Structure 1
Amino acid sequence: MTDDKIKVLVAEDSAVIRMLLVQLLESDPQISVMGAVSDGRAAFDFVQSNKPDVVLMDIHMPQLNGFEATRRIMETKPVPIVICSATSNTKDLVFTFEAMEAGAIACVEKPLNRERDDFEALAAHMLETVKLMSEVKVVRRTARARRNYSPPEAHPVAPPQRAEAQIKLIGIGASTGGPPVLQALLAALPRDFPVPLLVVQHITQGFLPGMADWLSLTTGLQAHIASSGTRPLPGHVYLAPDDFHMGIGSDGTIILTQQSPENNLRPAVSFLFRSLADVYGPNALGVLLTGMGKDGAEELKAMKNKGAITIAQDRDSSVVHGMPGVAIALGGATHVLPADKIAQTLVTLVNRSNGIARNSDHGNP
């Protein structure tokens, strides 16, 4: 029955592409297209008077672009928004992440050309993403001023209750809803943050270069797509490349591998956290952010068992509390924190560990 179907609004300025997207969506018996509009203002107006389960949103549109339409929808009548964008233009990808910062929860590549070998795979991924995102409960975003990327002054560090190992490397894992949380976290760190950060973010293949540029432009830290053999630098962010697990070697350099997927994922957070537990032990710190599934949950607990401090994002600030929720249930989180408290906690923990261990070496890389 139609009432049981996932109701989708398509916002796309090209009539040809709009028709193609509608046809693809309607080919799935679980989906019903309840509207198709050609600009962002029409998308905003439609959502005000209707209740789609998902909006499939283009970026470049007249009247209002996808970023502004997303922002206005999320500040008034929030609904899961999936950005549907081309991946061939890095500038377009940066705009995509601007929209995710405004409240969109996922991004997919437009399946534009039926002649492409990967057309069927792109179409299937779009349909699966729309269905998964329809189950996400989004909340209203409050209007806010243009972001200021000057990080806040660090609060005075409380005296430690015990001597702690020096934190030398931070691993972060995230999935659904992760990019804006990661961006806000990194933007709140000081530019001279003394520890490298290795990040596994589950995201549609092809969007990673735009994400790296977006993070570099908006956080004050330099973000890179990781290369094998690189020795991570303090205050730099290294993103696991598409289709490669990322870890850390015994010599302290980044390793990339195409070993079998873990939790049906490559890159997997589990691979990164396991390598940090094995190589750095108590000198690592793990952070598990919002995301579907359980990737990295058991391995966060393994890090904790090796003496590392571990952080899981709390339920209220997570778009999806799958990965961090499983880690918490397993007893794998030293701290359970809202998204806006994680950066300052990292600063405090790193400052404290460096203060304790400044003149000593624990023997790890």
Structure 2
Amino acid sequence: MNELRKIRVLLAEDSRSQREAISWVIGNAPYLELVGEAANGAEAVDMVEQLQPDIVLMDCHMPVMDGIEATRVIMGRCPVPIVVTSATFDVNDVHPGLEALHEGALAIVPKPLDPAAENFDRLAEELCLTLKLMADVKVVRRLPPRRSAANPRPPRETAERPADRPAPVREAREIRIVAVGASTGGPPVVLDILRRLGPRLDVPMLLVQHMSPGFIVGFASWLTRGSGLPVEVAAANVVAAPGRVYVAPEGHHLGIDRRGRLTLDDGPPENGFRPSVSCLFRSVADAFGREALAILLTGMGQDGAEGLAYVGQKGGVTAAQDKDSSVVFGMPAAAIRMGAAQRVLAPPDIAKFVVAQLARRRHLS
């Protein structure tokens, strides 16, 4: 994005009072420009085609066409970065914004509505910064999913591999834990991988997903409903059970000790994040060494790259998502440049790779 030009924002919000509040927030950001306001999803679709904004700020609950359907239509017809926002939600429920992420939205943030609220400035800053960052994401048209081919192609390694290839995956090992890290674009990819793994995931999986505060509990529930696997927010001192997925809670680094007990740490952020993917990967590597499998998915920045390299140094297995399937090829690219990824794969092939590693463990045991 040209730094001299303001980022052109289209706001889709059915509540007049909320439109006014959010318009005020956007108008006070020196790098943002509000170019249009839609009162429902159908208007948003039309205005995206007419105004060609740099980014859309989309409410979920709207008449005529809700934000989820509007996101699906926009991403299939005239793709543009979309950030979903919400005013009220139950942190224990599956938020509809997560379905919008599945349809192609990039992020979900809470609405800053009450200037008298203690957290108003923080929420306003988070919303504006998210719009600024997501406006630079290059999105593509999302086509309706196709049925799997009768003979799917084998897992491929993409051309992003550096000249100095990392050491190949050693054959004789017993994978006892899987660690996954993701950021922008991660939720639907994680869901897709879990769906493909299903009951074949017979070891614990630990997951760090960068997400705005207030949504992580609903995210875990969303993964459970969508995948059929038990997914829960991690708690300290819980023994990680086979076949269960543990999501890092807000504001805490997630780890695990040699006894298989989960650990939570509220130490300083790493790479700008708490929880940090690299913190998780290092902990898993220290506890399980060559029996660990770490996977780094789509995301902005470089969190997880050094941690993935550390897993490899400890003898573990590593993989990163490829460029073509990544919404933001930041974190995986950083790992690939370091030679930290032993495999560079698309999500369906990542799932196959995990299954193959776990099958090898069962064969060896």
TM-score by length of 1: 0.91
Task: Please name the residue that 1:94 is paired with.
Answer: 95
**Counterpart Cα distance in 2 of 1:172 and 1:130:** 26
State the shift of 1:236 in Å. 1.0
Secondary structure class of the residue paired with 1:107: strand
Residue 296 of structure 1 aligns with an amino acid whose one-letter code is G
Task: Please name the residue that 1:218 is paired with.
Answer: 226
8 Å CA contact 2:282–2:307 kept in 1: the answer is yes
**Counterpart Cα distance in 2 of 1:154 and 1:351:** 19
Secondary structure class of the residue paired with 1:20: helix
8 Å CA contact 1:286–1:300 kept in 2: the answer is yes
State the shift of 1:339 in Å. 2.1
The runs of 4+ residues in structure 1 deviating greater than 3 Å are 90-93, 152-157, 160-163
Task: Please name the residue that 1:51 is paired with.
Answer: 52
State the shift of 1:352 in Å. 1.3
2:323 is matched with which residue: 315, 320, 329? 315
Task: Please name the residue that 1:361 is paired with.
Answer: none
Secondary structure class of the residue paired with 1:326: helix
Task: Please name the residue that 1:296 is paired with.
Answer: 304
Note the 1:1-365 alignment, pairs <5 A: 4-86=5-87, 88-90=89-91, 93-144=94-145, 163-356=171-364, 358=365
8 Å CA contact 1:10–1:35 kept in 2: the answer is yes
> Any gaps of 5 or more consecutive residues in structure 2?
156-167
8 Å CA contact 2:186–2:298 kept in 1: the answer is yes
Task: Please name the residue that 1:362 is paired with.
Answer: none
Alpha-carbon distance change, 33 to 3 in structure 1, aligned in 2, over 3 angstroms:
farther
Secondary structure class of the residue paired with 1:190: helix
Secondary structure class of the residue paired with 1:275: helix
State the shift of 1:50 in Å. 2.2
8 Å CA contact 1:2–1:32 kept in 2: the answer is no
Alpha-carbon distance change, 2 to 131 in structure 1, aligned in 2, over 3 angstroms:
closer
Q: Percent identity?
A: 44
**Counterpart Cα distance in 2 of 1:197 and 1:211:** 15
Alpha-carbon distance change, 294 to 7 in structure 1, aligned in 2, over 3 angstroms:
same
**Counterpart Cα distance in 1 of 2:240 and 2:3:** 52
Alpha-carbon distance change, 153 to 308 in structure 1, aligned in 2, over 3 angstroms:
farther
**Counterpart Cα distance in 2 of 1:134 and 1:192:** 38
Secondary structure class of the residue paired with 2:95: helix
Residue 129 of structure 1 aligns with an amino acid whose one-letter code is T
Alpha-carbon distance change, 161 to 64 in structure 1, aligned in 2, over 3 angstroms:
closer
**Counterpart Cα distance in 2 of 1:30 and 1:53:** 12
8 Å CA contact 2:178–2:204 kept in 1: the answer is yes
State the shift of 1:186 in Å. 0.8
Superposed CA deviations along residues 246-278 of structure 1, whole A, max 9, x for unmatched, are 001122100001111111211001110001111
Alignment RMSD (CA, Å): 2.4
Secondary structure class of the residue paired with 1:129: helix
TM-score by length of 2: 0.91
Secondary structure class of the residue paired with 2:108: strand
**Counterpart Cα distance in 2 of 1:224 and 1:92:** 13
Residue 179 of structure 2 aligns with an amino acid whose one-letter code is G
Superposed CA deviations along residues 173-199 of structure 1, whole A, max 9, x for unmatched, are 001111111111111112242111100
